[in-house]
Structure 1
C-alpha cells in the first residue's frame, strides 16, 4: 500500500509538470484586447491621453490580470485619482477593457479664518496649498504645522489651527478652510524652581530648552512657552537628577503665573527624593581575569553615587573589555536591589561564553568600490582575535571614507568552533560631483568657478575611473582678481602602505596681492603625508614652479618692487608636522591645532630663488558655558636668504592684514612699505588673535575679537615696537551653501598708512 501511495504522488507531480507549460501558455495567450474605454465618475480628474500613457494594457495584446494590477498602481501614482476600477467584458473575437476613474477633488478656494494678530498675507505665505491643486490631506497637514510654527515663533503658545474641507455642490471641487484660534501672546519672563535643594537653578536651566526672554529672543526664539518643549524639559531635568543619584526624582508640575503685559512666570516643582549610593558592588561569573582586577575598572564603586549613566558606562566597559579579548557573545545582566535607606546593591552577572577568532572577512554590497579599498581600512584580519572594539574602529574608518550610505559589521557563526566570519555590508553612494557657481570675498572679489571631483577615483579602471579610493579634482576659477586652474590626484595608500602621496599641476594668477603689480605661479608639486602617532602627522613636499611678477606700475613703486619684476624659477622642499586634537573641523569647540612648517629653496635643488623659512602656528579652543567658544590663535614666522643670495624675493616675504589675521586692516597692509606706501613684506612675523563666539540662533553665531601683530624687515627680529592691533565684531553663518563669515575690525594701534576707518571682511560662497 505504501508503494502505491508513492506511485500516486509521483504521477501527480508528473502531471503538474506536464501541465505547467500549458497553463503558462494559456496565461500568456489570454483573450485579445479589442478596445480600451476610459470613463469618469464626476468631472475628469486627469486627461484621457494621460490615462492611456500610464497603461501597460494595449489594444491588440492579450489581456493580463497582472498588467491590469500594474496599471491601477500607476494610475494611483499620478496623484490625481481617488478611485480606479478596470474590468473586461466580452467583445467580438476578444474583450473590451473599461477604465473607470473617480478623480480627487480640485481646490476651488483657500480660506483663512481667525488670523488677527498676524496679517492674512503673512499666514498665506506659509500655505503651499493653492487654488487649482488636487486635494491632498498630507499637504494640508503640513500647512497646518507651518501655520502653528509661525505663531509659536511669535510667542502664541496656545494657538490652535484646524482645517476642514467643504464640498461645492454639483462639482468635483472643494473649499479648504484653515481655522485659527490665536489665544494670548505668552512670553516666559522668569523661571522658578521649587524643591531643588540639591541642584543649582543654573544647572537646571542649562539642560532645559525653555528659556526666558532676552534681547536675542528675536533671533534664537527663547522665551516661547511650548507644551512639547516643556515635556522634553521634564525628561531632561529628571535625567540630570538621576545622574546625580536621585533615582526617584519627580518633576511634578509646570505652572504658569501671569505677569504684567504678555509675560508669564514659570514655576517648576521638583520632588527630589533621596540620593542613592552603591552599598555593595559585585561581579559574578568572571573567569578570564581576577574578579577584583575587573571590578576596579568600573566607574561605580562601593560608596559611589548610583546613576543610570554610571551603570550604562560600566556595562559598555564590560562589553568592550570582553569584546577586545574575543568574547563576542558575552552577556552582562545587571541587578539592582535595595540595601537600606539611600543604598543599593549592584550585581553584574556575566556569562563569558567562548573566545572567538576571525575566520573570514566577507565584503558585501560594494558594487563599485574594490575589495582592497575596504579591506585596507579593516583593523582586524582573518586569524586575529575577534576584537569587537577594533571592529568598531573599522566601521568608523569606512564611514569616514564617505563612500557609503550605510556600513554594517555583522559577526556570524561558522561550522568551526571558536571561529566567526565578519560580514562587512556596505551600501554604495555617489562619490563624484560637478559644482559650478560664483563666490565672493573681500580678498578675491567676485569669482566664478567650476569643479569636477571624485573622492573614490581609480586611475586604472577605464572607462568609469571609479572604485580605487583615490581622490581626483579639476578646478577652474576666473574672477576679477584671480584666475586658477588646478588638476590634482592623491593616493591615500601608496604601494599598499598607509602613506598618502599625491601631486598637482596648476596655473594661478593673482591680482589681489598688490595694487601695483600682478603675479602668476605655474608648475607642479608632489606631496606625501603620514600619520605618525594619534594626533601627530608629518608631511613633505617638493614643488617646482615658475613665478612671474608683471604689469608693475613703475611710476608709483619704489626700487625694490621695480627690481622684483620678471620671471623666476623656484625649486623647493617643504616639510611640516601637525598636531591636531580638534573635536570638529567645521565648528571647533575643544582641542588644539599646532603646525610647524619649514622650507628651503635653491642650492642643489636648482632654480634662481635661494631662501628658507620656518613658522609655527597654533590655535587653542575652549568651550565655555552657554556654548560660547573662546579661541586663542597665534603665529611666529621667519624667512631669510642663504648661500650666495642677498635678499628674499617679494613673493616669499611675510605679510599681515586681511580676513585671516589682522581683520581691521586691508590685505597685506601691515608691515614694511616703500616710499609710496606699497607693502613690500618683511622677514619676521608674529601675531595673536583672541576671539569669543556665542550662539544667536540655530546656525548663527556672533563674535567679538581682537588681533595684534607685527611684521619686521629683518630676519629673526621679533621686536614688538611696530605692533598693529584691532578690535571687532562678527557673524558666523552655517548655511547649506557653506559657511559664511562676516567681520568688522577697527584699528586701535596702527601706522600712518594703515589707520582708520575700519574694515569689513566677507567670505561668502554660492553654489547652484
Structure 2
C-alpha cells in the first residue's frame, strides 16, 4: 500500500466583486424645525419627528427590467436567468439579490450591479454588467510531463470568446484530474491569471501555471544488511528531480519486492523543502536471505536423496547470489554424488546487465521407452559435467533478453533393464539407449522473455512469453552440431475469489545432429504429467495444458495458505496432432521460505504418477 500526502498549497482564486445598490426611493419631506421661542415666552412643547414612509405599493411594482453594459453577451442570455424580478410583480431586495447572484453564476462578468428608477407607474430595474475580457491566448506554464496541447484541450477555454469563470473553474479541476489519471498525483494548478493586453482593455491573455510536484529526494527506511546503493539500483523510474508519478513508484516497489531481499515494501511521499516538491520515503523489512539447509528425499530419477545446501541471495549486502549444493543419492545399490556452485551478479554495468556463473556435475537415472509399445527399452545413467555463464539484460520494463554460453561433457552408462536381476545364472540384459551419444556440447543460446503477469508467485491475470534458440557449433569444440528452437506461452484468466484459469502452449523443434541428452522429453512434471519422464524423446514436441488454480481457503478457511490445482495435459513428441498423449489430475501447492512446493497427482493410460516439485511446473 502507498499513502500519498500533498504539500499544503495556496491556490490563487479569482473573486468577482458584486456590488448591490439598494433600491432608490423618492425622498420623504421632513417637517420644518419649529421657530425658537422668545426668551420672555415659555417654550412650546415640540412634536416628535415624522418617520419616512415607504412609497406606495403601486410605486414598488416592476414596470420594466433592462440590461446595460453588455457588449458581446446577449441580453437574452442574461435575461434568461433573471427569474425573480418580473414585470408586474412587487420588487424586494431579496429577490433582486437572487437575480444578481444568478447573473454572476453565468461566469461571464467581472461585476454585476442593479439600479432602480422610480417612475409614476412603478419601478424600472436596470442590471448593469461589466463583461470579462475576451481571451485571445491560453498560456500554460510548468507542464513538462503532460503535453501542453492536452492541458489546453482539457482546460476547454475557447479563444476569441468572453472568459467564463465557471468554465475556468471546472477546467482547472479537469486538468488536475488529467494529471492524476496519469499517475501524477502531486500535480496541481498553482495559479490562474488574466493578463490584459496593452492598448486593448477588453482583451486579455489567460495564463495557467502548473506545479507538477518534483521529487526532491529518495530515502530508505529499514535497511539493515542491504546496502543503500544496492536497493537504489532497483528504483529505476522514481528518480530525484523527476516529476512524482504514483504508477512509476509502484513499479519500482514491485521490482524491489521481486528481488526476494525484502518481506515487505511500501512508500510514502513527504513534503519537501519546496512547496512543489516531495521526499519519497521507501520503508522495507528485510527478508532472511542466507540459508543453510539439508534433507532427505526421494526422486524417481535419483532414488533416495540426501543434500546439503548453502544459499545467500544477498551476499555481502550487494544483492549477489551465491549457492553451493552437494547431493548424495542411492538407487539400486549405486551411489551418486552431485554438486553445483553458482554465483550471480545482478548489476554488471549501468544498463543492469547481470552475469550468472555455474559449475556442475550431475548424475541421474534415465529411462527410454519403446515409442510403439510403451515398454521400457533401456535404463541408463546420464552423467553431466560442465559450466555455463549467462548474460541477461532488461530490454524494457517487461522484457528481458539473455545470452548463454554452455560447455557440457556427457557420459551415458547403460544399466540392467531389471535392477533386481541376478547375473549369477546368466547375464542380465543391459541394452544401451537407441542413440548412444557420449560427448561434449558447446553451445550459444539466445532467449527473450516477456512477463506481463500481475504477480510472480500467484498470478491471476496477464501472460508470459519465452522464445529461445540454441546453436551447438563444432567450430567451438562441440562434438555435435545442431539447432534448437522453443516457444512457451502462458495466459492467466482471472476467475472468482482470486482463482484463475491458466492456459499454456509449448512448442519445440530441432535440426541437425541432436544427441539423446538434448532431445525434447515428453513426460514428467513439466509436460504431460500422467506419463513418466522419458516416455518419449524426439526432435520436436508440443504440449498444451489447462489448469484451474484456486485457494483452498474458499472451501476450508483454515487452508487459506494452500492452493488447489485441477489440470489437464496433452502433448506429443514428435509432433503428431492425430495421436496426443492426454492426462489429468489435481495438485496442492504451498509457499515456503525456499519457494512454493507443489505436489501433483496425475492419471492417464499409464496409471497414476506423483510429482513433487519446487516451484510451479511452469
CA separation in 1, counterparts of 2:472 and 2:152?
Answer: 61
Query: Does the CA contact (< 8 Å) of 2:520 and 2:538 recur in 1?
Result: yes
Structure number with higher relative contact order (C-alpha < 8 Å, ≥ 6 residues apart): 2
Q: Does 1:564 align with 2:424?
A: no
Secondary structure of the residue that 2:310 maps to in structure 1?
strand
In the other structure, the counterpart of 1:581 is 452
CA separation in 2, counterparts of 1:632 and 1:558?
Answer: 39
Secondary structure of the residue that 1:516 maps to in structure 2?
strand
CA separation in 2, counterparts of 1:564 and 1:631?
Answer: 38
Query: Does the CA contact (< 8 Å) of 2:183 and 2:246 recur in 1?
Result: yes
CA separation in 2, counterparts of 1:623 and 1:321?
Answer: 24
In the other structure, the counterpart of 1:129 is none
The equivalences for 1:627-646 within 5 A come to 629-641=500-512
CA separation in 2, counterparts of 1:741 and 1:295?
Answer: 58
In the other structure, the counterpart of 1:456 is 314
In the other structure, the counterpart of 2:569 is 707
Deviation at 1:445, TM superposition (A): 4.3
Q: CA 1:688/1:424 → structure 2, altered by over 3 Å: closer, same or farther? A: closer
CA separation in 2, counterparts of 1:556 and 1:448?
Answer: 30
In the other structure, the counterpart of 1:653 is 519
The equivalences for 1:612-761 within 5 A come to 612-625=483-496, 629-641=500-512, 647-669=513-535, 671=536, 681-694=537-550, 695=552, 696-697=555-556, 698-700=560-562, 702-712=564-574, 718-721=575-578, 723-734=579-590, 736=592, 738-747=596-605, 756=606, 758-761=607-610
Q: CA 1:411/1:400 → structure 2, altered by over 3 Å: closer, same or farther? A: farther
Deviation at 1:764, TM superposition (A): 6.2
Query: Does the CA contact (< 8 Å) of 2:449 and 2:467 recur in 1?
Result: yes
In the other structure, the counterpart of 2:230 is 373
Q: Does 1:604 align with 2:604?
A: no
- Range with greater deviation from structure 2 (427-436 or 699-708): 699-708
Deviation at 1:565, TM superposition (A): 6.1
Secondary structure of the residue that 1:533 maps to in structure 2?
coil
Q: CA 1:480/1:360 → structure 2, altered by over 3 Å: closer, same or farther? A: same
Query: Does the CA contact (< 8 Å) of 2:155 and 2:175 recur in 1?
Result: no
CA separation in 2, counterparts of 1:455 and 1:445?
Answer: 29
In the other structure, the counterpart of 1:401 is 259
Q: CA 1:735/1:363 → structure 2, altered by over 3 Å: closer, same or farther? A: closer
Q: CA 1:703/1:330 → structure 2, altered by over 3 Å: closer, same or farther? A: farther
Deviation at 1:527, TM superposition (A): 0.5
Q: CA 1:528/1:686 → structure 2, altered by over 3 Å: closer, same or farther? A: same
Query: Does the CA contact (< 8 Å) of 1:706 and 1:725 recur in 2?
Result: no
Secondary structure of the residue that 2:517 maps to in structure 1?
helix
Paired residue total: 405
Deviation at 1:683, TM superposition (A): 1.4
The equivalences for 1:273-672 within 5 A come to 293-294=153-154, 320=180, 324=184, 327=187, 354-363=211-220, 366-378=223-235, 379-404=237-262, 407-414=266-273, 418=276, 420-424=278-282, 426=284, 428-457=286-315, 466-480=316-330, 483-513=337-367, 516-553=379-416, 556=429, 561=434, 564=436, 566=438, 568-625=439-496, 629-641=500-512, 647-669=513-535, 671=536
Q: Of the candidates 612, 615, 618, which is equivalent to residue 763 of structure 1?
A: 612
Secondary structure of the residue that 1:397 maps to in structure 2?
helix
Query: Does the CA contact (< 8 Å) of 2:391 and 2:402 recur in 1?
Result: yes
Q: CA 1:496/1:511 → structure 2, altered by over 3 Å: closer, same or farther? A: same
Deviation at 1:364, TM superposition (A): 5.4
Q: CA 1:650/1:525 → structure 2, altered by over 3 Å: closer, same or farther? A: same
Deviation at 1:409, TM superposition (A): 4.5
Q: CA 1:328/1:636 → structure 2, altered by over 3 Å: closer, same or farther? A: same
Deviation at 1:687, TM superposition (A): 2.4
Secondary structure of the residue that 1:384 maps to in structure 2?
coil
CA separation in 2, counterparts of 1:450 and 1:330?
Answer: 62
Deviation at 1:353, TM superposition (A): 8.3
CA separation in 2, counterparts of 1:366 and 1:668?
Answer: 47
CA separation in 2, counterparts of 1:321 and 1:565?
Answer: 60
Deviation at 1:572, TM superposition (A): 0.6
Query: Does the CA contact (< 8 Å) of 1:407 and 1:427 recur in 2?
Result: no
CA separation in 1, counterparts of 2:598 and 2:584?
Answer: 17
Query: Does the CA contact (< 8 Å) of 2:414 and 2:430 recur in 1?
Result: no
Q: CA 1:583/1:438 → structure 2, altered by over 3 Å: closer, same or farther? A: farther
Secondary structure of the residue that 1:604 maps to in structure 2?
helix
More helix by share: 1
Q: CA 1:608/1:357 → structure 2, altered by over 3 Å: closer, same or farther? A: same
In the other structure, the counterpart of 2:53 is none
Query: Does the CA contact (< 8 Å) of 1:399 and 1:407 recur in 2?
Result: no
In the other structure, the counterpart of 1:158 is none
CA separation in 1, counterparts of 2:502 and 2:285?
Answer: 39
CA separation in 1, counterparts of 2:568 and 2:254?
Answer: 39
In the other structure, the counterpart of 1:123 is none
Q: For structure 1, list consecutive stretches of 5 or more residues without a partner in the other structure.
A: 1-281, 297-313, 332-350, 458-465, 642-646, 672-680, 713-717, 748-755
In the other structure, the counterpart of 2:17 is none
CA deviations 1:129-163 (Å, max 9, x no partner) are xxxxxxxxxxxxxxxxxxxxxxxxxxxxxxxxxxx
Q: CA 1:408/1:624 → structure 2, altered by over 3 Å: closer, same or farther? A: closer
Q: CA 1:391/1:440 → structure 2, altered by over 3 Å: closer, same or farther? A: same
CA separation in 1, counterparts of 2:302 and 2:496?
Answer: 36
CA deviations 1:736-761 (Å, max 9, x no partner) are 574332213122xxxxxxxx4x1222
CA separation in 2, counterparts of 1:576 and 1:685?
Answer: 18
Deviation at 1:651, TM superposition (A): 0.8
Deviation at 1:358, TM superposition (A): 3.7
Secondary structure of the residue that 1:372 maps to in structure 2?
helix
CA separation in 2, counterparts of 1:734 and 1:355?
Answer: 45
